[in-house]
């Protein structure tokens, strides 16, 4: 399962050689490692009195973006989006948010910006990144076992960072069933990481047998976290990969995946489900709670405040609103749906950004390198997870989304020439093509 069959750079460079792609890949690797072990790291670093060290990988991302952004070849549309986010942050301040809200949001989304600006460099050392991801996946599986059979000290731990109380690890359960988080902060993050890590590795494994062993192992681990939305998204992603050889069925699957995520909050306004269903012990209780409470209440706040067109602004929605609460706007701290999250934050511009997932998936579906195959499965899975999760606040997901956008915006000739001239492409058929019907 550790990616011994991953693509390796050609020609081989010295392990001690340090260049820009290596440095940026190590920053991305540190981000993934810190997220994989976030729960345990927060506990031990706080005990040692150096809890702020956990934020070094993100600070490294900030520095890398600041250095690379002025000379990055970014399309005009991306600059327009970045400008819109700045305007939205100012709008949030007008709506009562504090600079801390805006700063916290920027810190949340910096992995996405890092992937967008520096992703092309990371792709040049994709073998190194693959090894790190393989080790993180193994660690995630070990963490589940430890959480199941031992009492880990970071379970349910919280600590103070200045005047803000932060959760080191969220301990929670569904009925009498504990939601396993392993080394991570919470079970949702762990499930998403296992899904994305396994999809990445599978794209580089040449052996179909190894892939067929990796998929059920990853699904079993996701199932143990009790995160039903990620488990369902993972299975649907595997179905899409098996049918990816056909253009029209794939495009249909992409369209449905994007539109269902947008439609679910709207449907919640039209249904009349008994309130008791939100508190039952059925498998759909959490989903019913979203339909009955989370989505309608979130929409009601945005509409009543008159923010339907322009949104509440960057920093007024999501974890930033939870860490630095805004008076009377507590319900905006969780949207439980990525399309709703973007709409609440950016208004109709957020809806437009969400809909751009469809052309992104179509672009990634074009036959190409193994990294394109990996990013296709990952972005599709993230889209499905986003039906019931604010997936833009999951570090692993945002890093991969940024890399996917950077890859899709790179001209095909450039991506197959300059950027992959040092990467061994292996057989003419990619790992994804092995999954496609013959």
pLDDT recorded at residue 367: 73
Q: Which pair of structure tokens corresponds to residue 101?
A: 């809200």
Dihedral sign of CA atoms 264, 267, 271, 275 in order: positive
* Contact in structure between 421 and 137 (CB atoms under 8 Å): no
pLDDT recorded at residue 169: 57
pLDDT recorded at residue 9: 45
pLDDT recorded at residue 287: 82
Reduced 3-state DSSP string for 324-375 = CCCCCCHHHHCCCCHHHHHHHHHCHHHHHHHHCHHHHHHHHHCCCCHHHHHH
Express each pLDDT in 282-311 by its tens digit.
667 788 888 888 899 999 999 999 999 999
pLDDT recorded at residue 380: 97
Express each pLDDT in 37-59 by its tens digit.
998 898 898 888 888 898 999 99
Pick from 323, 27, 41: which is nearest to 182 by CA? 41
**Cis peptide upstream of residue 11 (ω within 30 degrees of 0):** yes
* Contact in structure between 305 and 312 (CB atoms under 8 Å): yes
Dihedral sign of CA atoms 23, 28, 30, 33 in order: negative
| Number of Cβ atoms within 10 Å of the Cβ of 165 | 10
pLDDT reading at 108 higher than 60: yes
pLDDT recorded at residue 327: 78
Q: Which pair of structure tokens corresponds to residue 270?
A: 């039209």
pLDDT reading at 216 higher than 90: yes
pLDDT reading at 98 higher than 70: yes
Q: Please report, rounded to a whole number, the percentage of residues in the chain having pLDDT higher than 90.
A: 56
pLDDT recorded at residue 30: 96
Choose from 137-146, 165-174, 316-325 the range with maximum mean pLDDT: 137-146
Question: Among 38-47, 123-132, 404-413, which is the least confidently predicted range?
Answer: 404-413
Mean pLDDT of 237-245: 90
pLDDT recorded at residue 158: 66
Full-prediction pTM beyond 0.85?
Answer: yes
Question: Among 42-46, 120-124, 261-265, 394-398, which is the least confidently predicted range?
Answer: 42-46
Mean pLDDT of 346-354: 96
Mean pLDDT of 118-144: 95
User: Any idea what DSSP says for residue 293?
Assistant: I
End-to-end CA, the chain: 26
72/355: higher pLDDT: 355
| Number of Cβ atoms within 10 Å of the Cβ of 383 | 26
pLDDT recorded at residue 131: 96
Strand partners for 177: 174
User: What is the per-residue burial (b if ≥16 Cβ within 10 Å, else e) of 336-375?
Assistant: bbbbbbbbbbbbebbeebbeebbebbbbbbeebbbbbbbb
Q: Which residues neighbour 79 within 8 Å (Cβ) at sequence distance 6 or greater?
A: none
- Mean residue pLDDT of the chain comes to 84
Q: Which pair of structure tokens corresponds to residue 102?
A: 């805006």
Question: Among 85-89, 160-164, 207-211, 297-301, which is the least confidently predicted range?
Answer: 160-164
Residue 277 burial (10 A CB sphere; 0-12, 13-18, 19+)? middle
User: What is the per-residue burial (b if ≥16 Cβ within 10 Å, else e) of 193-230?
Assistant: bbbbbbbbbbbbbbeeebbeebbeebbebbebbbbbbb
Pick from 157, 121, 161: which is nearest to 28 by CA? 121
């Amino acid at each position: 399962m550790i990616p011994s069959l991953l693509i390796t750079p050609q020609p081989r460079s010295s392990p001690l050689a340090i260049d820009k792609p290596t440095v940026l890949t190590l920053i991305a690797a540190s981000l993934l490692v810190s997220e994989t072990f976030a729960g345990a790291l927060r506990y031990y670093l706080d005990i040692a009195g150096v809890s702020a060290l956990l934020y070094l990988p993100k600070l490294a991302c900030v520095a890398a973006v600041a250095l690379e952004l002025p000379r990055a070849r970014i399309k005009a549309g991306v600059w327009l989006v970045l400008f819109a986010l700045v305007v939205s942050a100012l709008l949030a301040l007008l709506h009562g948010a504090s600079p801390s809200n805006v700063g916290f949001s920027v810190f949340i989304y910096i992995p996405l910006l890092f992937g967008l600006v520096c992703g092309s460099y990371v792709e040049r050392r994709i073998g190194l990144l693959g090894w790190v991801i393989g080790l993180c996946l193994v660690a995630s599986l070990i963490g589940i076992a430890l959480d199941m059979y031992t009492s880990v000290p970071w379970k349910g731990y919280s600590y103070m960072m200045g005047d803000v109380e932060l959760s080191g690890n969220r301990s929670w359960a569904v009925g009498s069933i504990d939601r396993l988080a392993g080394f991570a902060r919470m079970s949702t993050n762990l499930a998403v990481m296992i899904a994305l890590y396994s999809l990445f590795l599978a794209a580089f494994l040449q052996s179909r047998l190894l892939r067929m062993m990796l998929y059920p192992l990853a699904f079993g681990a996701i199932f143990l976290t009790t995160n039903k939305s990620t488990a369902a998204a993972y299975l649907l992603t595997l179905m899409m990969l098996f049918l990816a050889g056909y253009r029209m069925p794939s495009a249909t699957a992409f369209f449905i995946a994007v539109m269902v995520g947008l439609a679910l909050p709207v449907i919640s306004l039209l249904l009349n489900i008994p309130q008791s269903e939100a508190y039952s012990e059925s498998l759909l209780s959490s989903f019913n709670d979203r339909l009955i409470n989370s989505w309608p209440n979130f929409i009601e706040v945005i509409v009543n405040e008159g923010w339907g067109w322009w949104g509440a602004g960057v920093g007024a929605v999501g974890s930033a609103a939870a860490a630095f609460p805004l008076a009377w706007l507590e319900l905006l701290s969780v949207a439980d749906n990525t399309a709703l999250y973007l709409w609440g934050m950016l208004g109709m511009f957020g809806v437009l950004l969400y809909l751009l997932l469809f052309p992104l998936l179509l672009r990634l579906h074009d036959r190409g390198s193994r990294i394109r195959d990996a990013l296709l499965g990952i972005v599709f899975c993230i889209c499905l997870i986003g039906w019931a999760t604010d997936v833009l606040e999951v570090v692993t997901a945002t890093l991969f989304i940024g890399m996917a956008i950077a890859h899709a915006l790179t001209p095909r000739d450039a991506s197959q020439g300059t950027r992959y001239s040092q990467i061994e492409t292996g057989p003419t058929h990619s790992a994804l093509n092995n999954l496609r019907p013959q």
